Amino acid sequence: MTKKELATVLAALRYWQQDLEANDDPPISEEHFAECEPLTSAEIDALCERLNAQSAEPAKRAMPKGRMRRGKSRR
């Protein structure tokens, strides 16, 4: 996910959360929830935290654990 995509997803989640807390109306996009319930406000918080944590560690995920990069290669 790009930084722009992540920012949009996080903004949409927070907007959804604000709307959820402001009223008791059914979801705006009911077709997306035909087989499941929408996330609660607390679940949205947890999801946003996980997304932020994952985006802060791209270099750690790119390299397998235990391998270190070196400035010069050995021959």
The total number of residues shown for the chain amounts to 75
Task: Check residue 27 and give its pLDDT.
Answer: 66
Q: How far apart are CA 38 and CA 30, in angstroms?
A: 9
CA distance 54 to 61: 9
The per-residue pLDDT for range 22-69, each reduced to its tens digit, is: 887 766 777 888 888 889 899 999 999 999 998 877 555 444 445 444
Average pLDDT for 7-14 = 94
Contact 3, 55 (CB under 8 A): yes
Helix (H) or strand (E) holding 17: helix 3-22
